[in-house]
Chain A
Amino acid sequence: MLDILMSVLVAGLTTGALYALATVGLSLVWGSMGMLNMAHAAMLTLGGYAAFTATTTLGLPVFAGFAAAILFGAMAGGLLYVLIVRNLLKNDKATFESNVMIATVGIGIALENTILLTYGGQPLKQPLSVDGILKLGPLNLPYQNIVIILVVVVMMAVIALLLGKTRMGRAIRATAQNRDAAQLMGVAVNRVYFQVLVLSGSLAGICGVMVSSMTQLSPPLGNDPMLKAFIMCVVAGLGNLPGAVAAAFGLALLEAFIQYVAGARWGFPSLLFVVIAVLIWRPSGLFGRTQIRRM
């Protein structure tokens, strides 16, 4: 009984770590620029495939695979800003929220389909994965899960430092709090937007490598973690980073337990019920600030 419980716990923590990484990328973009990036899923997939190409086709070492994933994710984020977001910001501010959502949906489809056309639809094995199991008494810990949790913890620390200690992080936080005030104080808001999208793109790249090392590489790889990351963002309140991480771990554990108790089929629907219940109780999420809008 105990070992089953432990394995459910390990599985829940690992997926929680993955979701946390995906959620932070989304939440960062939403918090600082009010943009819901529907192309995040495709950027995740792009990172996974970039690592695959670098290590398998080009025969580069593992480290270069990671670097390729980060690089391609960052490039996708940068291009998204240059081609889409910059142009949409010129239009009416009131329509930006829905327009950017529709535009990124289009970009997401196009990117996913490009990957499908380049690599084909058959699942591929992610070479950046570790085999083997660490045995600790009754506990069976696959090395892969340990690696994932470690990488995610390191990434979280890097993001926290970046946001908390650097000049760029201060600018991002200032823009998130009040865009107009930040701009008046001399923060180059457009540059902040660019930086945020690049940062979130590189996070998506790493997350893609991690997700594909748990399962397999396939073009719709990013969609499932992304949908769950959306739910976690909403439960936590969009734009709240610590809340997003907490919600990711909490909901992933809940999902793992429900999948064990009631069968894999009910994992996602139960998350949906949680999110509906939370939203009826608190419409802007558990930790979200209730926005007071001035007309």
Chain B
Amino acid sequence: MNTHSSPKGLTGSNKLDITITLLLIAAAIALPFFIDSRYVLGQIVLALFYATIASQWNQLFGFAGVFSLAQMAIFAFGGYATAMICFYFGWNVWGALVPAALGSVAFSLVVGLACLRLTGVYVALLTLAIAQTMYLLIVTDTECFVMVGSTCRQFTGGAVGFARFGDFGTRALFKAQWLVGNYAIVAVLFAITMAFTYAIVKSPMGLAFRALKDNPGYAVARGVNRFQAQLLVFGISAFFTGLAGGVYAAHFQAIGPGILSMSQLMFIIAITVVGGVGTFWGPLVGTIVLVAADEVMREAGEFRTLGLGIIIAVSIVLMPKGLVGRLGDLVGWLRRRHASPARGKLAESPALVGE
């Protein structure tokens, strides 16, 4: 994009963002009235969780350029913290959500501190090792912490995890329609997350993140504090990820080490990559496409994981900027064709016009 059209393009994209947001809100409100199937609504709730996590991973990787593989570990930390607070102290789920999210922030800051001096793949490897350690320590935990009835419970819940520690109270309130209540809670969480992410991405802080990603040396020379910016992005993305983890645990009334598995992390990465790394709407588009593809592949049963792996590899090769990026290319191309029909005859080769 050249410098001339950029201010105009910005307002144009703002208008587009507002239109999309209004349409999405309308769709989100209308959705429960049109869907009777409990299964479909359940899958939509799950998709909203994926979209929330992916949007935060996108903030970390797509905007700030930190390739962290600890995203599901932070999500699990939020979920586990919520479950453990409810389980050991008998708190209400609603009261435990924010402390658990703050705990995730603290955890993420520690991870961020460990990664502070590292770049690129070193960050990826260290965060992967941290996530794997967390998984191993939980799964191999066999020491008795408390006795529940006649069975022994480990501090971290061991390989089984936690269950039945409380819920949102939607079952008591809405009776048979409880899933709609949970859907509303998760949808609001997603909306708040997206609104906050939008504000950050468009703020000077977001610009600093992007500057550090694009050219660290230049950004630091222009006075961007790398230390502060990296810790901030780790902390902010962890708050919503941890919050989503708590809501996830409360929605399913269970949390186990399974969500730390590699395939869950891959699904989040796949969503972001297919949708478009570093684009605001990318994670949402990716979630819709991949959850739909997942449902189709459900018919194929055991080929689901295989298909997922191939989708990740093919989409990064064919469209490095994801679906949203490709759509942007298409719109730009159409606009250029439209804007200069007369000049188009003169400059036959599109490469000359575009670049």
List residues of A whose CB falls within 8 A of some B CB.
Answer: 30, 36, 83-84, 87-88, 91-92, 95, 97-99, 101-111, 113-114, 117, 223, 227, 230-231, 233-234, 238, 264-265, 268-269, 271-272, 275-276, 279-280, 283-284, 293, 295
Contacts and interface: CB of A to CB of B under 8 A. Distances in A.
Nearest to B122: A234
A137 B314 CA distance: 58
Contacts of B339: none
B296 interface: no
A103 B140 contact: no
A269 B218 CA distance: 37
Nearest to A80: B313
Interface residues of B, number: 42
Given A98-B67, A268-B136, A103 B309 contact: no
B309 A238 contact: no
Contact of A113 (B129, B305, B312, B313): B305
B215 A105 contact: no
Contact of B317 (A103, A109, A283): A103
Contacts of B316: 88, 99, 102-103, 106
Contact of A272 (B133, B266, B302): B133
Interface string B96-127: 00000000000000000010011011101110
8 contacts: A36-B124, A97-B120, A101-B124, A103-B313, A103-B317, A107-B313, A111-B309, A283-B117
A283 to B, nearest CB: 4
B317 A269 contact: no
Contacts of B308: 106, 109
Contacts of A271: 129
Contact of B121 (A91, A97, A275, A295): A97
Contacts of B120: 97-98
B303 to A, nearest CB: 7
Given A102-B269, A109-B266, A227-B128, A265 B306 contact: no
A102 B117 contact: no
Contacts of A276: 114, 126
Given A265-B136, A265-B137, 10 more contacts: A97-B120, A106-B270, A106-B308, A109-B263, A109-B308, A230-B128, A230-B129, A272-B129, A276-B114, A295-B215
B32 interface: no
A264 B117 CA distance: 31
Nearest to A281: B117
Interface string B55-82: 0000001000001000000000000000
A270 to B, nearest CB: 10
A117 B305 CA distance: 10
B205 interface: no
B184 interface: no
Contacts of B217: 293, 295
Contacts of A105: 266, 269, 309, 312
Contacts of A101: 67, 121, 124
A43 B129 CA distance: 20
A123 B141 CA distance: 24
B122 A283 contact: yes
A229 to B, nearest CB: 10
A110 B302 CA distance: 12
Contacts of A284: 122
Contact of B126 (A87, A104, A234): A234
A190 to B, nearest CB: 16
Given A98-B67, A283-B117, A106 B309 contact: yes
B217 to A, nearest CB: 4
Nearest to B67: A98
Interface string B249-262: 00000000000001
Contacts of A230: 125, 128-129
**Which are the 6 A-B pairs with shortest beta-carbon distances?**
A106-B312, A110-B309, A109-B309, A106-B313, A283-B117, A113-B306
A26 B305 CA distance: 25
B41 interface: no
Given A109-B308, A109-B312, A284-B122, A269 B320 contact: no
Contacts of B317: 83-84, 87-88, 103
Q: Considering residues A101, A223, A231, A295, which has the most beta carbons from chain B within 10 angstroms of its beta carbon?
A: A101
Given A88-B317, A269-B137, A227 B310 contact: no
Nearest to A234: B125
B236 interface: no
B129 to A, nearest CB: 5
Q: Considering residues B215, B311, B316, which has the most beta carbons from chain A within 10 angstroms of its beta carbon?
A: B316
Contacts of A92: 320
A114 B303 CA distance: 9
B306 A91 contact: no
B136 A103 contact: no
A103 B316 CA distance: 6
Q: Considering residues A88, A102, A103, A271, which has the most beta carbons from chain B within 10 angstroms of its beta carbon?
A: A102
A280 B117 contact: yes
